[in-house]
Amino acid sequence: MSYMRRFNQIVFLLISDSLSTLRHEGIEVWWKKSSQYLVRTIFKQTPDYSYRLFLKKSRLNEQELAALAIDWEKNSGHQSAHFLISLIMPVFKPKRKWLLEMVSSIQDQVYPHWELIIVDDGSHDNDVKILLKQFAKEDRRIRIIFSEQNQGISGASNIGLHAASGSYIGFVDQDDIVAPEALDHVARVIKRYPDVDIIYSDEDRITNNGIRFNPFFKPAYSPCFLLQNMYFCHLTIYSKNILDKIGDLRSDFDGSQDFDLALRASEKADKILHIPRILYHWRYHHDSFSMQVHTRQTALEAGKQATKAALLRRGIKATVKRQQVGYHIQRIVETQPMVSIIIPTKDKPDLLSQLLDSMNVYQTYPNHELIIVNNGSRNPETMVLLEQLKSERNNVRIIQAPGDFNFSRLINSGAAAAEGELLLLLNNGIEIIHDQWLEPMIAHALEPDVGAVGCLLLFPNKTIQHAGVAIGIRGNAEHCFRGFPSTPTSNKLHTYALFFDREVSAVTATCLLMKKSIYFEVGGLDDVSFKVAFNDVDLCLKLRKHNYRIIHTVTTRLIHHESLSKGNELYTQELYNLKKAWSTDSYADPYFNPNLSRGDYHMNLSDTPWRMPKNGDLPASEHYLGQS
């Protein structure tokens, strides 16, 4: 039976993905991907095995590291060409072996202009004291500060912070490892973007035996994501200017003091940049902070308080709850703006009935109007249903829009007739499955810099159909996490985004909420170039061009009976229009890490890991710079 199940899995992949790959990428790429999948399936290759293959391609060899070091040596006489980076490391009763490995990893940096400030937080261990003094004796870039009293993680870090001489400052742990190219990459970014306030990188975990696993490939700066989860983590570097503005780390948040610092710093920062390369290895062992249950619980509670403090500073009323990973924020909607729900339809009365019935079953935001745009329905049952709706509800209007199916034109007609402050574009194939499904979207949409809000859409089998749209996948735009379980179970840390509301480049118009004023500000849906497909992607990219954020919320979860309301036609001309308008073949989506494959939507690792160019350029997109 197990062989048959595996065979069925293979057949399913070949049917669902192969035709699209052949069409968009050619037979050579199709064969490569199909053969790789067969090997993974038959031999049950694990994600860790895939990551080991990724590391072989990603790792810099000795010659490459030496070349980076030579570049800095050539510029050593030019003060403007380098920056002093201070690394602060509090230690408390460290294990000798791990401390040696951490300090050695910093001494192995190919970028030479750094200082390491080690603050012994009252260890009172003579062997530790001797070892620390030896570090400073052997390397003048290492300074040791002994604290007689245990100050805690924030107190010890602040001692180092006050002693730091660098114009850029980072914090590291006593038992971790920093990649040899880490500070080189940071320095190149600073040189390329001198006004940067915060820089953070990707990271992974490392065992006591030096085996690396669980890579965390992060998005560009996502303020909504950061508010719920300290995803900056390691390696994070702050400019001294931004730290001077926000003050010291706060002991009240010990255990999540870095989270509180990141939230406060991000509120004052003008530019936050992400280096999409793993520059830090977080040691995973039974004595580590993350493994100690009591200490971890204290840290999680401190993180919750950091989130609540940030919401208070920002004037956002909300409740905060701990969840499996990070925190769930339920924003409170104090006003009751009218929402115009625009539903295009043509016949298929069973679909429309299912949507409307589910809205009756589950509590729906009361201040709304229904605008049903009828695209020339002829089915007698449909006509009866529409007449019944008008007679039974005083908040329903039927807009007649005959002619060829043009989704953009239908929505634009509904928007022109709408009386609400907010517009909800809603497909007639949607089914509501929980109460208060609209309020979380409204709370986001009312924020002044939010352009559009989408939600988590599920297939009837409760796997994911839509969790945001990534630009550039297969040269066009694809739904993220398509086919994944709706509750994250993967050990791929980047899939933990499914726990959180977050910024994305686009959301589907199957369920999209936005202010009516903004809709018309950017010209609504393009009913000439994108009559049926990619109109939502085009709309969202226009919004981003106008500096609006696009939010995907996981709090609202709906079932989408996909493709029941229309066929599965291929919209070749519209794909061409998308590529022409937005260069999607080369688009670097800021929220889709470049170390993930652009060849499919399965979030697998890329065959070509990202590498830092000499000039410090981050992935080539004006949208990548993560402006706050």
Output the domain CATH number for residue 231.
3.90.550.10
CB contact at 8 A, 82 and 109? no
Residue 424 lies in a domain: yes
106-149 residue pLDDT tens: 999 999 999 999 999 998 889 999 999 999 999 999 999 999 89
Residue 610 lies in a domain: no
Mean pLDDT of 291-298: 64
pTM: 0.88
DSSP string, 412-477: HHHHHH--SSEEEEE-TTEEE-SSS-SHHHHHHHTSTTEEEEEEEEE-TTSBEEES-EEETGGGSE
For residue 343, pLDDT beyond 70 = yes
- Reduced to 3 states, what is the DSSP secondary structure of residue 553? strand
CB contact at 8 A, 173 and 92? no
Pair of tokens at residue 148: 């007689």
% pLDDT > 70, the chain: 86
- Other C-beta atoms within 10 Å of 50: how many? 16
Residue 277, H or E segment: strand 272-283
CB contact at 8 A, 153 and 289? no
The top-scoring range by mean pLDDT among 10-14, 292-296, 382-386 is 382-386
- Cα–Cα distance measured from residue 628 to residue 355, given in angstroms and rounded to the nearest whole number: 38
* 301, 233: one domain: yes
* Residue among 395, 351, 329, 405 at smallest CA distance from 374: 405
Sign of CA dihedral 425, 429, 433, 435: positive
Pairing mode of beta strands 236-239, 168-171: antiparallel
How many domains does the chain contain in total?
3
For residue 40, pLDDT beyond 50 = no
| Amino acid at site 75 | N
Residue 285 lies in a domain: yes
- Tokens 């010209």 correspond to what residue? 523
pLDDT tier for residue 278 given thresholds of 50, 70 and 90: very high
In degrees to the nearest 10, what's the CA dihedral of 494, 500, 506, 509?
130
* 346, 309: one domain: no
* Residue among 239, 282, 331, 238 at smallest CA distance from 102: 282
CB contact at 8 A, 618 and 201? no
Residue 63, H or E segment: helix 62-74
Q: CB under 8 Å, gap of 24 or more: what pairs does 604-612 form? A: 604/50, 605/50, 605/51, 605/53, 605/54, 605/215, 606/54, 607/57, 608/57, 609/54, 609/57, 609/58, 609/277, 610/276, 610/277, 611/58, 611/277, 612/181, 612/184, 612/185, 612/188, 612/275, 612/277
Q: 419 burial class (0-12, 13-18, 19+ CB within 10 angstroms)?
A: exposed
For residue 86, pLDDT beyond 50 = yes
Q: 15 burial class (0-12, 13-18, 19+ CB within 10 angstroms)?
A: exposed
Residue 57 lies in a domain: no
CB contact at 8 A, 146 and 159? no
Q: What are phi and psi of 79, to 5 degrees?
A: -60, -35
Higher pLDDT, residue 406 or 498: 406
* 150, 31: one domain: no
| Amino acid at site 213 | F
Residue 63 lies in a domain: no
* 280, 144: one domain: yes
* 444, 299: one domain: no
Q: 61 burial class (0-12, 13-18, 19+ CB within 10 angstroms)?
A: exposed
* 476, 529: one domain: yes
* Residue among 432, 415, 433, 416 at smallest CA distance from 424: 415
Residue 50 CB contacts under 8 Å (≥ 6 apart), including other chains: 40, 604, 605
In whole numbers, what is the pLDDT of the chain averaged over residues?
87
- Cα–Cα distance measured from residue 79 to residue 76, given in angstroms and rounded to the nearest whole number: 7
Residue 59 lies in a domain: no
* 423, 473: one domain: yes
Confidence (pLDDT) at 493: 64
Sign of CA dihedral 590, 593, 599, 600: negative
* 303, 348: one domain: no
Pair of tokens at residue 490: 């993967």
* 244, 351: one domain: no
For residue 348, pLDDT beyond 70 = yes
- Reduced to 3 states, what is the DSSP secondary structure of residue 77? coil
* Residue among 6, 35, 34, 36 at smallest CA distance from 20: 34
For residue 310, pLDDT beyond 70 = yes
Confidence (pLDDT) at 167: 96
Q: What are phi and psi of 566, to 5 degrees?
A: -155, 175
* 139, 33: one domain: no
* 299, 344: one domain: no
172-208 residue pLDDT tens: 999 999 999 999 999 999 999 999 999 999 999 999 8
Residue 328 lies in a domain: no
- Tokens 């899995």 correspond to what residue? 9
Pairing mode of beta strands 502-504, 142-147: unpaired
Residue after which a domain boundary falls, among 281, 314, 347: 314
Residue 52 lies in a domain: no
What residues make up the domain containing 183? 81-314
* 345, 268: one domain: no
pLDDT tier for residue 78 given thresholds of 50, 70 and 90: low
